């Protein structure tokens, strides 16, 4: 997550509150606003900035945040594939999923065990898509397809609101 802590033992709030001599509300603020990529890197919750810091400045904390992010996504992906008994496709969306081919590649690295094989050229080209288009980034031989889809939450929310209103007022 960009600024929040992700999975966490619930007792951490009281532990940190007592240890740091702050109230629980302050610990919750830390966990909601100063954790995740920001907390790990100490500098930013923006993946573009973390990639730049890791590459250009050899910032070890930024590199650690990126590495851990990719590891955790791959871990959850593997867990979901196990629980679901497989899948037809993996879809990348949202800011990082839509715009960071390097992160998509790192997440999918060593996922051949589940039939996922990324096409490096297609992956690099799948940036800046319009909401009407999806880009396939897996190879044709891949048993698990992978796509990049531009998120357009605002339009989806508007369409669903209209649909609900039509149902209520029809």
Residue 5 has pLDDT above 70, yes or no: no
At 4, the pLDDT band (50, 70, 90 cuts) reads low
What is the number of other CB atoms lying within 10 angstroms of the CB of residue 162?
Answer: 10
Q: DSSP alpha helices (H): ranges in 21-152? A: 24-33, 36-41, 47-56, 60-84, 94-99, 101-108, 120-125
Residue 115 has pLDDT above 70, yes or no: yes
Mean pLDDT, residues 21-40: 93
Residue 149 has pLDDT above 90, yes or no: yes
- Map out the domains of the chain with their CATH numbers: 1-86 (3.30.420.40), 88-170 (3.30.420.40)
Residue 2 has pLDDT above 80, yes or no: no
Residue 134 has pLDDT above 80, yes or no: yes
Average pLDDT over the chain, rounded to whole?
A: 93
Mean pLDDT, residues 65-92: 96
**Mind giving me the DSSP string for 77-92?**
HHHHHHHHT--SEEEE
pLDDT at 136: 97
Reported pTM: 0.82
């Amino acid at each position: 997550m960009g600024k929040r802590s992700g999975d966490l033992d619930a007792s951490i709030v009281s532990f940190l509150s007592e240890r740091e001599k702050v109230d629980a509300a302050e610990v919750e603020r830390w966990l909601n606003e100063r954790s995740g990529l920001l907390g790990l890197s100490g500098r930013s919750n923006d993946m573009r900035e973390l990639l730049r810091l890791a590459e250009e400045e050899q910032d070890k904390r930024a590199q650690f945040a990126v590495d851990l992010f990719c590891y955790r996504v791959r871990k959850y992906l593997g867990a979901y594939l196990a629980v679901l008994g497989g899948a037809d496709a993996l879809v990348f969306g949202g800011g990082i999923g839509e715009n960071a081919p390097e992160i998509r590649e790192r997440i999918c690295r060593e996922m051949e065990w589940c039939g996922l094989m990324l096409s490096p050229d297609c992956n690099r080209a799948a940036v800046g898509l319009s909401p009407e288009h999806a880009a396939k980034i897996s190879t044709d031989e891949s048993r698990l397809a992978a796509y990049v889809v531009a998120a357009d939450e605002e339009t989806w929310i508007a369409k669903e609101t209209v649909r609900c209103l039509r149902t209520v007022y029809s």
